[in-house]
Structure 1
Amino acid sequence: MPLSTPSQHNPSLYQMLVEGVRDAVYLHDVEGRILEVNPAATDQTGYSRDELLQMLIHTLNPYRDAKAFKSMLDEMLEQGLSHKTIYSTHRQANGREIPIEVNLNRLDHGSEILFVAAIRDISEHERLKLSVEHKVRFNQLLLDISSRLVNLDPERIDGAIDDVLADIGQFFSVDRSYVFSIDWDNDSITNTHEWTGKDVPPAIHRLQNVAFSDFPWLKKLMERLQVAHAPDVSELPEEARKDREEYQQQKIRSLIIVPIIRDGRAVGMFGLDAVRQKGHWDKDIRDNLRLLAQLLSSAMDAARLGRELTHMAYHDALTQLPNRKLLHDRFALAAERARRNGHKVAVLLLDIDDFKLVNDTLTHSSGDKLLCVIAERLKKMIRGSDTVARLGGDEFVMVCELKSGEDAAALAERTIESISAPVMIERQRIIIHASIGISLMPDDQAGCDKMLRNADIAMYEAKAAGKNRFAFYDASMGESVRVLIEMRYDLQQAIDNDQLIVHYQPLCCAQTDRLSGFEALVRWQHPIKGLMMPAAFLPVAERSDLICRLDRWVMQQACTDAKELCGDNAEMRIGINLSTRDLYDRYVVDRFVETARAFGPSIDRRIQLEITESMLMQDVHTAIDHLNLFKKFLPRVSIAIDDFGSGYSSLNYLRRLPIDTLKIDRAFTADLLDDRRSAKAIIRSIMDLARNLGLKVIAEGVETQEQYRLFKSLGCDQIQGYYIGKPQPLSQAMKSVPPWLEV
């Protein structure tokens, strides 16, 4: 006998069941037979009411059989439970499965035990839940990627980007993730980094310097800084036909590509490909990918900067040729290669004959262009496995693997001929010549530095023999040249190996007897000859670019020591001598500004640059230009004319020079006691001139108390000399100040 239903026994109950309930409601018995449903149940499942009334409720759940369902109901009855909440799955008439929440209530209907199941579709809830979980996981991925890409050494950045692409590819369940760089000038793109999933072949080796015009749809979107999104590559529009063919050739079914933006322009692309099945990326995911692109952009910037810094460290800034550092590495490779092949390594050191005379007739930019022309000509003289480097100034080196000395001689002849060919620069026809010194290994059996030194000696011999020629190194070459060259290379090693030290000589304020500063004076702690004074090595440095390196080293050391020497005294300054080569070097201001700024914004008030009067008179107009640039970029730096009074012709230019101080030539100080009247008159004239121009005066070479008192009586501002203190290393500089001087 069939069971009666509440709709038959209590129509009002059935009415409540039917009306106003959005959840699907099922009335079923302990066997699971469905006795009644509301309209929402038919909407939810896609089955008609009649179909549902012929079914057992557990058959709507594809994962639960009759036995498991009966066991669940028996458990409720045994425990006396009237309510139970279950999370399960329903299969709709179309076969689609939906997540559901079941609120199951026991209903005692007379002698019958029935159950009312209110079933809610929680698909949207689950979607939101998954969305939240996805966002949490994505934010964690962002944090992880950010931490991995920050503060990396340049050489590790590329590997880190590869690892990040792997994480991104796996997170989004794609088959390929990648980064491209864009070269708009050459209309090309290059696949720089790539990750591929299992059984997906890499494409990076095929996508180097590819014409961007082969992807017109993608190129247009990158120009507009828009995302390229193709859920189905086969459905790309006709305007993207060329792109579609390229993608289908790579078996890509779906893709999304995001621009990597710097300074308002796409400099690269970050993309995901789906190969095995189609992918879809909604707006939230597209926004997420933009965030990832920003992170990758920062990492790529760091990698680019690292590569540029590495390039700068190993290449000459003007010609982009290898510098001395890289030359050593290349020499080692060439020596090993020559050893294996039974060949020789030839080092050809080339110096332009009378380059200073030629350069003086040119503008700054023309001189640079000439050096670049020379560099290009030298590059054409060698093979790809050989090296041409610039050592500085007008010195170039070629390192070549050759079979014999005859081959080296032939190369030198061709090089001299090439250099001698006329060149037009800014409508000016220029002809230059070169002298070359050659050193051969294994004949000379030496390392790179020794080979360069020998080639240098040979080059000087070539110049002495008439220039515009070459000479092979021979152990019998002139002793004076050998000593000069060896001193130069020893000084090079001294700069590289921290053999130089700075001694500081104190200055005092003549009117207050207070310590007012120091002058930085370089010394060379030679490993064999002991402490060497500047007179022994500065002339050698000034004949080469070493003087510029020396000046910069002293500048860096003085800035480093300034805090300890000057403390919080705003009036204290460290005097630093500028060489003639540096004063007239077009890049001197850039170098000094870069060095000074590395020590903070207040360092310029600690510095006094000192230039001798004779240096100024070599090219006073250029000197004025360069000193004005110093004042422009380091406005609080003080500039002093050293040894003033030895060249009166410079007085006409004092008003135009951006100077602050005159340092009276020590010769007048020495004469002050022997020929007091004339020396005193000259010193008084210099001081009157300085006061009229608003300049300070420093007296140098003061060695006695009497000299000190005379300068003090004349109103001199500062005094320097052995009476105040001898030059001492940093550790002794403050200790050696005389006790009567207030610190």
Structure 2
Amino acid sequence: MSGAPIDIAWRSVFQGLPEALWLVDAQSLNVVFCNQAAADLAGRPAEAMEAMPVHALACTPEDLAFWSQDLAGLMAGIHSYSNMLRSDGQLVPVDRRVAAVASPSGMPLLVLGMVDRSEQASTQRELERLLSELRATLDSAADGMLVCDMAGRVRAFNQRLALLWNMPDTLLVERNDAAVEAHMAGQVADAGAYRARLLGIAQFPDEETTDILQLRNGTVIERRSVPQLSHGRPMGRVYSFRDLTLQHAAQKRIEQLAYSDVLTGLPNRLLLSRRVASAIEAARAPGGGFAILFIDLDRFKIINDSLGHLFGDRVLQLVAQRLQSCLRQTDMLCRLGGDEFVIYLHTGATDVAEGVARRILDEMRQPFMLDGMGFSIQCSIGIALHPQDGETLDDLIKQADTAMYRVKERGRGSYGFYQPQMNADLLSRMKLEHAMRQALDRGHMAVHYQPQIAMATGRVVGAEALLRWTDPELGAISPGVFIPLAEESGYIVTLGAWVLEQSIREAAEWMRAGSPLMVAVNVSALEFRQPDFVERLVALLQRHGLPATLLELELTETILLQDAQEMEQRLAALAELGVGLAIDDFGTGYSSLAYLKKLAIHKLKIDQSFVRGLPGDEGDRAIIHAIVHMGRALRIEVVAEGVETPAQRLALEQMECHYFQGFLCAPGLPAEAFRALIAGGQAYVWEPVPEPD
């Protein structure tokens, strides 16, 4: 820098400074001196930059304008950030400072100082990249995100947060932390608990927390709070908010399905067991106790069989509503399944249990109305008390069930408390059912045949097959005892199939012996509903060589009313085969004249309850007279059951009944005895009945 108007002292000072410095002529803007730090930063020898225009270091139009315009009249220093152009073309980010000075000789100079900001700029770019990635991460997150410092001030958030919390567009932009906190507290169903929880979180700044929030609009949110650490010390918190509304609803639905009956919506046995478990624990205190009521609908099977299961399900829903109306909020009604209900009463007082049972019976006696059809349903109720009748729910249900069955045995439509003796009776019932299942294999059952007599000729025209059971230990067991047991257990299907085959085999023997008589066999509703019933029947007829015209099936009116279309097709198939169809106990069930016209019915059997009052009971005479004449009008023959006296037979003859059976002629006879009877071929003759005095 020889000849430069810079004295040695200045040069020494500038050269010793670590900052890159240039002295620039304020008039020409040419460099008059630079130190070694400046030469290193610019990538040029110091001598090469002497007399160089300072704007040679500029790299943008803004920098050129800076040197040509912005320095005019410079009185104070200028501090700015810029880029410097190195000799190799590289741009170096710099911190630039310019100040006006005068040399010792009075020459106006500009001092240009630059600090390399490459490392800071790289750090800044990395920070900006990280912030951009953070923003992208926040915005793409499925959860609402909120980042706060230790004082609770908002530092970052995403749009999902605003959507979840129903925030106005301007709220977060304004960065009004108090307004944000107030808005969120106002959205929560329990604002007080929300604020208290925030205070609790703040007391433990280095712990993670998770809780569930319920918003006023029904949204369920899981809030997770994670501390934000710097060098191991908390500097803030990151909150994530996840919408669990759908999962919460699904979980509630799962719990509802797990603990409730699908058809009625009532609690099921699982929920009842939880309630009773709590009650048992509470009952340990003095004065504790509760009652269990077991309810079974009487003859509900008739509704299912006659009107279909869909109709029956709707009836059960109505029944559930009736039963629920009889209870208090502290009680619980549950459906075990089918037509069985159990009630938990929150008291063990017998008078309260008795009062509830009576209220239920009264309510159930009120007519039901469904699809324009009126009908009545009764129920039987068994009651067991805790702790005297049992310590567990299973025990109490068992005892209440036993008491309910005793009610049914005594006539149904009432209630009864459990008594210890009932278990012995139930055990006898179970033993009887077990013996019944073994009776077929052990040869203890037989089919007897009761003659059916033509009223006009007195001759045997057929026989009804009757199942009889004689046990070596128990003796003769009435069909009225074991047939209901067989129907309840489903064993009636096995018994019915056996009776049908025995009867067909026996009738084939009569035919081969020269007495082609019709055999009438009772068929239960459950047996008749078996999908392969008709096919099995055809196979039996073919196997034993019996013409279908010599077989008559006695059906109850209930069978004809159930699943009407399917039953009509099945009955039509039987009629086409030539099998006779008779309605047993006509007039005692759900009678409908429509099926008499629609279906191929051959006979009506008058129940013995109508015959018993003959000849004196005018009501019985009127009913029988109506049945006989209706049968004649429809070309359906009529058979009277249970005829025991000549007077009864005469009354039936006078009313033009076609056939009869009963003890007047013969009881049910063993197969050998019946063969002997028909082998004689003699007609029954009765003496004239004397006129009453």
Give the TM-score of the pair, scaled to structure 1: 0.35
Q: TM-score under structure 2 normalisation?
A: 0.37
